[in-house]
A and B are shown apart, each in its own frame.
Chain A
Amino acid sequence: MISFEPTEDQKLITGTVSDFAKSTLAPRARDFEKAQAVDTAARRAVHELGLSLAAVPEALGGQGLGLITATLINEELAYGDPAAPFGLPGFGAFLIAAQELGSDEQAQALIAPFADPAAHDRFGAVAWSERKPNRARPGFITIAKKVSGGWELTGAKAFVGNADLAESVIVFAQVDEQAGWNGVGAFVVSKANPGLRVAGRHKTLGLECGHFGEIVLEGAKVADTDRLEGRGDFVAACTRFFAKYSLIVAARQVGLARLAFDVSREYCDIRKAFGKPIGHFQDIAFTLADRHMDAESARELVRRGAWTWDAGKEQGKCLLATAQAVAHAHQVAMRCADDAVQLHGGAGFMRDVIVEKLMRDAKQMALCGASAEQMDQLAAAVELGLPLDPALVWPTPETQAVLT
């Protein structure tokens, strides 16, 4: 039965997260930005709310609340500070990658550390992108070579969230150089591995507390059991990983879009020009109306995307609904943030007001997980009944490189 109303439990969780985000994250958004990190106190507070494992199935050590609940949580956190979730342990791509790519046993082992009391200081990372495309053949430059008892990884990965903080990293590398994007594998590499080195931190346009950086692999040796095989179909699993992670990012974009809209609406109510509030000029009022439609539609599309997964719809339907939601949310957030700056005029360009940060964050976020363009290709492939060629539907470095 069609319904837009969250359950009582979801309302309770959303209310708690919303209060927390407004009282704890929002006032400190600029501090996190300056410090390029979410501080320990805030991380501990989030961890005590016990929300990072909300969407992880109970069998894997999570709370089993489903993706809808996870999108609600992420939307509310982002409404406080859209950048903050990128600096929170357990909210990154790592847990989703572990669930989708690992066996039950592997996933349990990778997820367990995030449930313990000290986990507010525990980060994981996903190393996907590379600085350059491989011009010699399709696939990653980073390679995983089979050696006795395991694999040896060599190469460099870029745009990795929490690269310098992560205790373990899921690294994507080429296992079969002849197989193009069908020849990719994923491996868990511990920070303690002598072959893994954090090469440096990226200075980014936005999402400063995301700790995006580079990782270099210099013959890093891992065991056979450290390879994540995607439960039998690696390409499908990896496609699912990007869909679900991107949907979580899209929920944050919705929070950002709503925040940008609310700040703008308030400003248009109080800022006067030519003798009346600027919101009483039609051009400005209509801009607000358009952005409101944007934010509201993106919010419900993201929830619908999450619902397809929770309701166990067939994969094509889930991927299509997710791709549509993600692409829409990315574009909506950018429009909302851009207009928020525009409606503030010169004041919007100054760092005294939050909207300039929202605009930078929105663009940065549009490149976390799959981009709108990549999601559109995925949606079209599903609709046209084309095979889901990873070269087309994954955010490979051959097209737009993305952050994970």
Chain B
Amino acid sequence: MIDFELNTQQRMLKEALHDMGKSVIRPQSLGWDREKTIDLGFLRNFYMMSQSLRGENNPMEDFNEGPKNRDPGKPVQTNRTAAMGAEELAWADASIMLSLPGPGLGGPPIRASGTPEQKERFFSIFRDMSDELRWGAYGLTEPGAGSDVAAIRTSCKRDGDAYILNGRKCYITMGGRASWVVIFATVDPALGRAGHRAFVVEKGTPGFFVGKIEEKMGLRANETAELVLEDCRVPAANLLGGEEKYQTKEGFMTAMKTFDNTRPLVAAMACGIGRAAYEYARDFVKDNYVLGRPIPRYSAIAERLARVGRNLEAARILTWKAVWMADHHLPNAKEASMSKALAGQAAIWACIEAIEICGAHGTLSEDHALLEKWFRDIKVYDIFEGTGQIQRIVISKRLLTDLRAF
């Protein structure tokens, strides 16, 4: 049945996160942006609180590690619930979702391709973080290879019971503090995708260094790091999925599979930030415009607001569709990319228009600092996890016959 009602768990999660977002997160958001970090005390409290909420049936664990005893014929709610949570958290603060302790973007490739032993070894550290918060990370992008993933140059060479990795990874979310990072490398760049290997490289491995921590336009509270691998010796047991996994093109597919589940979440976050800006502008108009007077220019402002609102709705509906498909185990690569492409655009536009509607007020980083911050935060949502252009490549390959590359 066509239905757009959240289930009880989703509604409760949304309400709880919204209340906390409003009264706890938003008041700290600007400070975190200035300090360039989310307060660890807050993250710890947030973690402990979410643990107590979760009880026996831990939705985040399901999301990170994949639901246990999953019947592939049976739909789940995990992705839909995660999308609700992601939107609401991003509404409160754009960086928070990317900074939460846990495997982060490193989770999906391990979930998709790791051996049972690897899953246990790398996920178990997140099951109880009451002593210390821990993060995972995902290292694909290099100075010379962004959208063109096949062009990565970080090398890996087998040496006895280990691989020797050399290269540089950049723009790695939480890369500086991660307990481990899924690093993509190549045995031979001439082999293209077939030469790719994914490794889990653990913090403290000799030859594995954190380089520069980036200064960014927005999302400043979220750590973005450069990682350096210099003759870094990684045990063969950390080759994701084991050697036999790479007899086919799986290696590259590992990198890409990550995105079918995470793109709609990024889209959901973008919707949350866009919605924050939209609501801000709407409330600004209510409070600051003299709406009782029939001023002709108002209809132009009303139209702007309405357009922003409906473009966000269009993005949200595609996001929901993508997660609904994921929950039903339907292939959703196209829909995932559609949600990300549309949401990135709609939310950027929402932030731009919101400032326009608020006039000069909107640009002040004192009184209306959140609006100015969201404008800086949102831009990267059309860039990371595949730029808008890359999403359109993914989409068009699924629309046109025999289109393999441009």
User: Using a CB–CB distance below 8 Å, which chain A residues touch chain B?
Assistant: 1-7, 10, 68, 265, 268-269, 277, 279-282, 285-286, 288-290, 292-293, 296-298, 300-301, 303-304, 307, 311, 321, 323-325, 327-328, 373, 375-377, 379-381, 383-386, 392
Q: Chain B's interface: helix, strand, loop or mixed, by majority?
A: helix
Minimum Cβ distance to chain A for residue B251 (Å): 26
CB-based contact A328/B400 at 8 Å: no
Point out the residue from A6, A285, A301 that lies within 8 Å of B314, measured CB to CB: A301
User: Using a CB–CB distance below 8 Å, which chain B residues touch chain A?
Assistant: 1-7, 10, 77, 80, 282, 285-286, 291, 299, 301-303, 305-307, 309-311, 313-315, 317-318, 320-321, 324, 338, 341-342, 389, 391-393, 395-396, 399-403, 406
Cα of A2 to Cα of B77 in the assembled complex, Å: 9
B392 neighbours in A (Cβ, 8 Å): 285-286, 289-290
CB-based contact B5/A383 at 8 Å: no
Minimum Cβ distance to chain B for residue A252 (Å): 18
Cα of A7 to Cα of B3 in the assembled complex, Å: 10
Chain B CB within 10 Å, residue with most, of A297, A298, A327: A297
B305 neighbours in A (Cβ, 8 Å): 380, 383-384
CB-based contact B314/A2 at 8 Å: no
CB-based contact A4/B282 at 8 Å: no
Q: Which residue of the partner chain A has the closest CB to B8?
A: A1
CB-based contact A304/B4 at 8 Å: yes
Chain B CB within 10 Å, residue with most, of A324, A375, A385: A324
Point out the residue from A2, A279, A325, A385 that lies within 8 Å of B3, measured CB to CB: A2
CB-based contact A298/B406 at 8 Å: no
Given contacts A5-B2, A307-B4, A379 and B310 within 8 Å (CB-CB): yes
Given contacts A2-B320, A297-B342, A307-B4, A285 and B403 within 8 Å (CB-CB): yes
A377 neighbours in B (Cβ, 8 Å): 299, 302-303, 306
CB-based contact A293/B80 at 8 Å: no
A282 neighbours in B (Cβ, 8 Å): 393, 406
Point out the residue from B10, B310, B401 that lies within 8 Å of A328, measured CB to CB: B310
A325 neighbours in B (Cβ, 8 Å): 310
CB-based contact A3/B395 at 8 Å: no
Besides A285-B396, A289-B392, A301-B310, 8 more A-B contacts (Cβ < 8 Å) are A1-B3, A3-B1, A296-B318, A297-B318, A301-B313, A376-B307, A377-B299, A379-B306
11 A-B residue pairs with CB within 8 Å: A2-B6, A10-B2, A277-B403, A288-B400, A289-B338, A296-B318, A325-B310, A377-B299, A381-B302, A384-B291, A385-B286
A268 neighbours in B (Cβ, 8 Å): 400
Q: Which residue of the partner chain B has the closest CB to A298?
A: B314
Cα of A298 to Cα of B4 in the assembled complex, Å: 15
CB-based contact B299/A311 at 8 Å: no
CB-based contact B303/A380 at 8 Å: yes
A321 neighbours in B (Cβ, 8 Å): 313
Minimum Cβ distance to chain A for residue B375 (Å): 21
CB-based contact A383/B309 at 8 Å: yes
Cα of A392 to Cα of B306 in the assembled complex, Å: 14
CB-based contact B324/A384 at 8 Å: no
Minimum Cβ distance to chain A for residue B387 (Å): 12
Cα of A303 to Cα of B321 in the assembled complex, Å: 12
Minimum Cβ distance to chain B for residue A29 (Å): 24
Given contacts A301-B317, A311-B5, A384-B282, A265 and B406 within 8 Å (CB-CB): no
A300 neighbours in B (Cβ, 8 Å): 317-318, 320-321
Q: Which residue of the partner chain A has the closest CB to B279?
A: A383
B400 neighbours in A (Cβ, 8 Å): 265, 268-269, 277, 279-280, 285, 288
Given contacts A279-B400, A381-B302, A6 and B282 within 8 Å (CB-CB): no
Point out the residue from A6, A277, A375 that lies within 8 Å of B1, measured CB to CB: A6
B401 neighbours in A (Cβ, 8 Å): 269, 277, 279
CB-based contact B303/A376 at 8 Å: yes
Given contacts A2-B6, A377-B306, A297 and B403 within 8 Å (CB-CB): no
Q: Which residue of the partner chain A has the closest CB to B305?
A: A380
A289 neighbours in B (Cβ, 8 Å): 338, 341, 391-392, 395-396, 399
Minimum Cβ distance to chain A for residue B87 (Å): 13
Minimum Cβ distance to chain A for residue B59 (Å): 15
CB-based contact A327/B306 at 8 Å: yes
CB-based contact A4/B315 at 8 Å: no
CB-based contact A4/B306 at 8 Å: no
B310 neighbours in A (Cβ, 8 Å): 301, 323-325, 327-328, 376, 379
B342 neighbours in A (Cβ, 8 Å): 293, 297
B318 neighbours in A (Cβ, 8 Å): 293, 296-297, 300
